[in-house]
């Protein structure tokens, strides 16, 4: 039977034990020794489970108390000076880098956090200086290897490779200098030497950066790093592991190096199969074929996987093929066993991390059979897929027909922007530099208890409704008192901008325990798009209409856009993403139309996660993603008349390279995160001749700090210098739900008075 490979297991634990242990430590409820014990118990459980499922290569060092990139920085002694010199011990330093440190006179900002490629996992961005003193620090890799061995389990230690590490790190000095490169390679070489002394048999280097667009400099950096590391491997077999894409520009380069094995992603790596088939695999080398997705929650399609494996076996000896996951299982929930309340007709189609282990060994067995067609596992797998096709909720003829019937004009507002904005200005009578917010207001204890009361049944839906309406009344009154021009209802009825809509649309499934690590101790529980999506009834209309009835000022309708709903869910796999996006867009479109009918004049459709699933390769951006993503947004917002204003909000990312697409979204007002990037986003907008209204966030809402009036005035002045004041709005960077009420009121007051001051100078 072929060997199987696992390259990472969800470390948070099946009931998020790690979250509780680490947070308990942060809160001072447990000491570090206790945390260490709990962590060891989790590692042991995960190793034994993988052994029990018959996995041949079981990883170690995939565990982390916070994040693997941070662990790698630690291993390399890449501790920025401000942390190294703060007089903290090792553990304090580690967590200070992760989340900042404020005690006594020591006040350290955390390292930056970024999304790990196109996933929703966030890593800690290491910070390197020209004189960073790289050296092997700590013994995590070796200790975890020995720890597993003492449980009778031989593991394959995994490391984030030096190339990916260096390319993702933030370089404070002059980038990857030869000194930095050689020093980092030397540490990895030493790791290999020490693993040799432990008689370790194989090691894994993760280099997902190889799946991005590489230039000649990248390839030579990669080559020179491994040219100095691999001679140290001794008796260890080295696996070069890649994921999230294909090796279209490095396939030959990597095989020229002394790796023993190459791990390829055959789920997201579109071209990998073709690369192997046309360029071959050198004799004596093995291939880890990532055919079981580490990112989808669906059961594997055995026929599809077997056909990839057979395709590989045409090019190389079948024994050299190891059956693996496409990437670490970190990105999927732990197990479907804890989803007892999900009907079996749905649950049977899902495979989370634990179930995927079983799929690996089953596939390895089936692959070894000369004719697997009558094998019960394959028969069951095929039957299951048939069953899914026939589930009514899975395939709604009305929804399919509606998408199929879409015409070009469904994606456009009738009128051009110039005409629309003239109508809107006449309708709303707003001052120049109008003020507004992004939607949510602070989530007080009162709202939380209302929501949990409704869930537990301790209050009636009527009481809940009355409670929410009271909060809306207070929020409208508060905004009028502060003097904001375009109001919001506060979003009290939603706990989460995606889950709320998912719960009110058909086609979505929710898990009880389907947590996935997002960063550190934080997890998310993405809904699963199971069937065709539609909107059975209006969702937000009653709340917004109520809010509008309380004031003469405009209140914005507040919706989450189709691309964000899709990107923060687990999508179904049998439909192209673009088609799912159009289904969701039509549901949002119905809500947009109903809001307009209810007299709402301004509707905001948020696309916070617009960029998230952007392919790693630029050449794939448009055809594989942006073309349909932008169309989905346009489809959602275009049923309204010219005098109805469409606003959108975007945050969390870099926008400079998708400006043309942002223009194509054709929103009347773009409220965009800007404060943290010092308004550089305005420069890109200007360079791209952005010609619609813009509200660059004037202050960062991610900290409790209250920005002064003068500071905001300064920000507005900068904006004015870059953009026509007639098309500028004044607003915070993002929603206010994570902030306290007091600081929010103080900040908004300063924002409004700053806007008024600048306005006063405008009219002179």
Binding residues for ligand GLN, total number by CB under 6 A: 13
DSSP for residue 214: -
Axis crossing angle, helix 302-313 with helix 272-279, rounded to the nearest 10: 20
Residue closest to 561 by CA, chosen among 582, 537, 585, 544: 585
Q: What distance in Å separates the CA atoms of residue 293 and residue 329, rounded to the nearest whole number?
A: 8
Contacting residue, 46, 292, 735, 744, with ligand GLN by CB under 6 A: 735
Choose the one of Zn ion, ligand GLN, none that binds residue 39, judging by a C-beta under 5 to 8 angstroms depending on kind: none
Nearer to ligand GLN, 642 or 696 (CB): 696
Q: For residues 716 and 752, is the Cβ–Cβ distance under 8 A?
A: no
Q: Which region, judged by CB under 6 A, interacts with ligand GLN, from 8-16, 179-187, 514-522, 732-740? A: 732-740
| Options 4, 241, 300, 440; binder of ligand GLN; rule CB under 6 A | 440
Q: Which of 233, 365, 634, 737 binds ligand GLN (CB under 6 A)?
A: 737
Q: How far is CA 260 from CA 228, 320, 601, 742, in A?
A: 16, 11, 63, 60
Q: Which stretch binds ligand GLN (CB under 6 A): 335-343, 730-738, 739-747, 752-760?
A: 730-738
Q: Is 651 in the site for ligand GLN (CB under 6 A)?
A: yes
Q: Looking at the chain, how many residues does it have?
A: 764
Long-range own/partner contacts, residues 479-483 (CB < 8 A, 24 or more apart) = 479/437, 479/553, 479/748, 480/551, 480/553, 482/745, 482/748, 482/749, 482/752, 483/435, 483/752, 483/756
Beta-carbon count within 10 A of 189 CB? 19
558 is in the binding site of which of ligand GLN, Zn ion, none (Cβ under 5 to 8 A by kind)?
ligand GLN
Residue 440 interacts with, from ligand GLN, Zn ion, none (CB under 5-8 Å by kind): ligand GLN
Neighbours of 278 (CB within 10 A): 10
Contact 633, 665 (CB under 8 A): yes
Q: How far is the CB of 492 from ligand GLN (least distance, A)?
A: 11
Q: What is the nearest approach in angstroms of ligand GLN to the Cβ of residue 720?
A: 25
Task: Write down the least CB distance from residue 518 to Zn ion, Å.
Answer: 16
- Helices and strands per DSSP (H, E), number in the chain: 29, 23
Per-residue contact string for residues 474-493; x = within reach of ligand GLN by CB under 6 A: -----------------x--
Nearer to Zn ion, 335 or 443 (CB): 443
CB of 680 to ligand GLN, least distance (A): 19
Measure the CA–CA gap between 30 and 127, rounded to whole angstroms.
Answer: 30
Which range touches ligand GLN (CB under 6 A), out of 254-262, 432-440, 503-511, 708-716?
A: 432-440
439 is in the binding site of which of ligand GLN, Zn ion, none (Cβ under 5 to 8 A by kind)?
A: ligand GLN
200 touches which of ligand GLN, Zn ion, none (CB within 5 to 8 A by kind)? none
| Other C-beta atoms lying within 10 Å of the C-beta of residue 678 | 11
For the purposes of burial, counting CB atoms within 10 Å of the CB of 40, is it exposed (0-12), middle (13-18) or buried (19 or more)? Answer: middle
Joined tokens for residue 673 = 């995160």
- Residue with smaller CB distance to Zn ion, 210 or 608: 608
Residue among 158 and 561 whose Cβ is closer to Zn ion = 561
Quick one: what does residue 737 bind among Zn ion, ligand GLN, none, with the CB cut-off 5 to 8 Å set by partner type? ligand GLN
* Closest CB 649 distance from Zn ion, rounded Å: 6
Determine which residue in the list 349, 365, 469, 649 makes contact with ligand GLN, applying CB under 6 A. Answer: 649
Torsion sign over Cα 343, 348, 353, 358: positive
Residues whose CB is less than 8 angstroms from the CB of residue 161 and which lie 6 or more positions away in sequence, other chains included = 188, 205, 206, 207, 225, 240
Pattern of binders to ligand GLN over 602-631, x per CB under 6 A?
Answer: ----x-x-----------------------
Residue 670 binds Zn ion, judged by CB under 5 A = no
Q: DSSP for 120-132, please give it.
A: S-EEE--EE-TT-
Q: How many residues sit in the footprint of Zn ion (CB under 5 A)?
A: 3
Q: How far is the CB of 575 from ligand GLN (least distance, A)?
A: 26
140 lines the binding site for ligand GLN (CB under 6 A)? no
- What's the rounded Cα separation, in Å, for the pair 464 and 448? 11
Per-residue contact track with ligand GLN, 253 to 292, x per CB under 6 A?
----------------------------------------
CA-CA distances (angstroms) from residue 280 to 20, 213, 271, 427, 453?
Answer: 47, 22, 13, 66, 61
State which of residues 558, 626, 646, 681 lies at the interface with ligand GLN (CB under 6 A). 558
Least distance (Å) between residue 135 CB and ligand GLN: 40
Q: Of the ranges 34-42, 433-441, 503-511, 711-719, which one interacts with ligand GLN (CB under 6 A)?
A: 433-441
Asked if residues 617 and 245 have their Cβ atoms less than 8 Å apart, the reply is yes
The nearest distance, CB 720 to Zn ion, in angstroms, is 23
Window contacting ligand GLN (CB under 6 A); options: 264-272, 416-424, 458-466, 729-737: 729-737
In the complex, what is the shortest distance from the CB of residue 522 to Zn ion, in angstroms, rounded to a whole number? 17
Query: Residue 606: beta bridge partners?
Result: 560, 649
497 binds ligand GLN (CB under 6 A): yes
Q: Which residues of 607-629 are buried (b: 16+ CB within 10 A; e: fewer)?
A: bbbbbbbbbbbeeebeebbbebb
Q: Which of these segments, 58-66, 152-160, 289-297, 600-608, binds Zn ion (CB under 5 A)?
A: 600-608
Q: H helices within 198-352, ranges in order?
A: 216-229, 251-256, 272-279, 302-313, 344-347
Query: Residue from 587, 651, 681, 719 that binds Zn ion (CB under 5 A)?
Result: 651
Shortest distance in whole angstroms from residue 694 CB to Zn ion: 15
Q: Does 439 bind ligand GLN (CB under 6 A)?
A: yes
Helix (H, G, I), strand (E, B) or coil at 514: coil
Using an 8 Å Cβ cutoff, are 209 and 175 in contact?
Answer: no
Catalytically active residues are 702
- 608 or 715: whose CB is closer to Zn ion? 608
> Which span sits near Zn ion by CB under 5 A: 155-163, 385-393, 585-593, 601-609?
601-609
**Least distance between ligand GLN and beta carbon 564 (Å):** 8
Of positions 73, 288, 734, 748, contacts Zn ion by CB under 5 A: 734
Q: Which of 176, 289, 438, 716 binds ligand GLN (CB under 6 A)?
A: 438
Q: Which is nearer to ligand GLN, 440 or 548 (CB)?
A: 440
- Nearest alpha carbon to residue 380 among 392, 394, 362, 395: 362
A 10 A CB-CB count for 325 gives 33
Alpha helices in 550-679 (DSSP H): 562-567, 577-597, 618-621, 627-637, 659-665
CA nearest neighbour of 146 among 182, 216, 194, 88 = 194
End-to-end CA distance of the chain: 83
Minimum CB separation of residue 494 from ligand GLN in Å reads 9
Nearer to ligand GLN, 606 or 666 (CB): 606
Return the bridge partners of 571, or none.
Answer: none
Cβ pair 224, 181 in contact under 8 A: yes
Binding interface with ligand GLN (CB under 6 A) = 438-440, 491, 497, 558, 606, 608, 649, 651, 734-735, 737
Binding interface with Zn ion (CB under 5 A) = 608, 651, 734
């Amino acid at each position: 039977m072929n060997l199987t490979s696992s390259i990472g297991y969800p470390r948070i634990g099946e009931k998020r034990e790690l979250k509780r242990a680490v947070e308990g430590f942060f809160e001072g409820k447990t000491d570090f020794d206790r945390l260490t014990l709990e962590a060891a118990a989790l590692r042991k459980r995960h190793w034994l489970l993988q052994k029990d499922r018959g996995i041949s290569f079981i990883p170690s060092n995939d565990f982390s108390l916070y994040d693997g990139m941070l662990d790698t920085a630690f291993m390399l002694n890449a501790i920025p000076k401000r942390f190294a010199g703060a007089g903290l011990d090792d553990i304090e330093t580690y967590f200070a880098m992760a989340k900042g440190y404020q005690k006594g006179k020591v006040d350290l900002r955390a390292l930056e956090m970024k999304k790990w490629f196109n996933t929703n996992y966030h890593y800690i961005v290491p910070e390197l200086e020209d004189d960073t003193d790289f050296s092997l620090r700590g013994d995590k890799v070796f200790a975890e290897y020995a720890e597993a061995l003492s449980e009778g389990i031989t593991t394959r230690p995994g490391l984030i490779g030096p190339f990916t590490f260096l390319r993702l790190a933030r370089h404070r000095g002059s980038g990857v200098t030869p000194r930095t490169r050689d020093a980092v390679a030397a540490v990895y070489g030493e790791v290999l030497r020490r693993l040799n002394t432990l008689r370790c048999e194989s090691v894994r280097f993760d280099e997902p950066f190889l799946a991005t667009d590489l230039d000649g400099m990248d390839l030579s950096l990669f080559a020179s790093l491994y040219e100095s590391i691999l001679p140290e491997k001794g008796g260890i077999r080295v696996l070069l592991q890649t994921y999230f894409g294909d090796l279209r520009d490095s396939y030959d380069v990597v095989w020229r190096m002394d790796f023993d094995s190459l791990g390829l992603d055959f789920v997201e790596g579109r071209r990998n199969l073709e690369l192997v088939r046309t360029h071959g695999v050198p004799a004596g080398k093995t291939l880890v074929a990532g055919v079981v997705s580490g990112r989808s929650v669906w059961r594997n399609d055995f026929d599809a996987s077997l056909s990839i494996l057979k395709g590989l076996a045409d090019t190389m000896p079948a024994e050299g093929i190891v059956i693996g996951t496409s990437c670490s299982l970190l990105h999927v929930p732990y197990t479907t066993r804890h989803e007892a309340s999900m009907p079996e007709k749905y649950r049977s189609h899902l495979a989370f991390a634990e179930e995927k282990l079983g799929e690996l060994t089953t596939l390895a067995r089936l692959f070894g059979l000369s004719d697997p067609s009558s094998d019960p596992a394959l028969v069951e797998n095929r039957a299951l897929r048939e069953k899914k096709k026939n589930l009514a909720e899975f395939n709604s003829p009305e929804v399919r027909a509606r998408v199929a019937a879409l015409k070009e004009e469904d994606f456009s507002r009738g009128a051009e922007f110039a005409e629309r904005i003239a109508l809107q200005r006449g309708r709303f009578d707003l001052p120049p530099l109008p003020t507004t917010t992004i939607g949510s207001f602070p989530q007080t204890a009162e709202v939380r208890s209302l929501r949990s009361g409704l869930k537990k049944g301790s209050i009636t839906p009527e009481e809940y409704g009355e409670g929410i309406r009271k909060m809306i009344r207070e929020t409208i009154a508060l905004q009028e008192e502060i003097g904001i021009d375009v109001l919001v209802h506060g979003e009290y009825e939603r706990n989460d901008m995606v889950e709320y809509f998912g719960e009110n649309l058909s086609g979505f499934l929710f898990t009880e325990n389907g947590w996935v690590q997002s960063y550190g101790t934080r997890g998310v529980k993405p809904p699963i798009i199971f069937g065709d999506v539609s909107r059975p009834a209006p969702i937000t209309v009653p709340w917004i209409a109520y809010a509008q009835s309380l004031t003469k000022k405009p209140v914005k309708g507040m919706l989450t856009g189709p691309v964000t709903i899709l990107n923060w869910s687990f999508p179904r796999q049998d439909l192209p993403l673009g088609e799912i996006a159009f289904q969701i867009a039509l549901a949002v479109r119905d809500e947009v139309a109903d809001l307009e009918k209810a007299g709402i004049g301004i509707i905001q459709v948020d696309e916070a996660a617009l960029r998230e699933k952007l392919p790693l390769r630029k050449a794939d951006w448009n055809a594989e993603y942006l073309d349909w993503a932008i169309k989905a947004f346009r489809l959602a917002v275009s049923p309204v008349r010219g005098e109805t204003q469409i606003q959108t909000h975007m945050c969390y990312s870099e926008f400079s390279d998708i400006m043309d697409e942002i223009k194509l979204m054709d929103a009347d007002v773009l409220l965009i995160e800007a404060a943290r990037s010092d308004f550089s986003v305005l420069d890109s907008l200007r360079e791209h001749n952005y010609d619609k209204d813009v509200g660059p966030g004037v202050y960062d809402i991610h900290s409790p700090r209250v920005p002064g009036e003068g500071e905001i005035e300064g920000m507005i002045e900068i904006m004015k210098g870059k953009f026509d004041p007639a098309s500028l709005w004044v607003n915070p960077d993002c929603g206010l739900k994570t902030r306290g009420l007091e600081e929010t009121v103080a900040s908004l007051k300063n924002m409004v008075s700053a806007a008024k001051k600048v306005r006063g100078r405008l009219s002179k």
